[in-house]
Structures are given as C-alpha cells and as structure tokens.
Amino acid sequence: MSFKLPDDDYEYRHAVKGYAYYIALTDIAEDIFRPARKHGYPEKAIQELLDKLGNDGYDLIDILEQHFYEILSEQGINLING
C-alpha cells in the first residue's frame, strides 16, 4: 500500500496505528466489560452504581458487551484470536 503525503496523511496515520487500535479495543473489552463478569470493578463509583442497579446493571453491561463484539465482528475484527 502506498500513500501520497500530505494528501493521504489521515489514511496513513490510521494504517500505521493498527496495533494501537487493537490494544485500545482489547483494553475496552478487558477494563469495561470483563470486570462485570469476573472480579468486579476497581473503581468504587462504578461498582457502587452496579450494586444499586442490581441485575439490571449487569444485564445492561452484558447487552453492551454483545453489541461491542457484534460491531467488531461486522468489521472482521476478532480480539480473542487477534
């Protein structure tokens, strides 16, 4: 792939940042969604809010997580297998 700089600077920056995007998406999955299923949130405010909401809060996070992975899948992105 070649880029004509500076005209293609935007596309070039996105192309070279692919791994950074992957890491950011993995961090979102691990830091936002996984704690609801595994070990709780280290941020006290988030955990307190979920405790107040009860199952509804966890159900909402589950729905958001499913939607997150559906969007990634539609773009051919699989965080589990890279």
Q: What's this model's pTM, rounded to 2 decimal places?
A: 0.71
Structure confidence at residue 63 (pLDDT)? 93
> How confident is the model over 26-37, as pLDDT tens digits?
999 988 888 888
Task: Supply the DSSP symbol for 42.
Answer: S
Please provide residue 38's backbone torsions phi and psi, each rounded to the nearest 5 degrees: -110, -75
- Give the whole-angstrom CA distance, residue 74 versus residue 69: 9
SS3 content of the chain, % helix, strand, coil (to 5): 70, 0, 30
Give the pair of three-digit tokens for residue 30. 């691990």
pLDDT at 68: 93
Tell me the mean pLDDT per 10 residues along the chain, length 82: 72 81 91 85 86 89 93 87 55
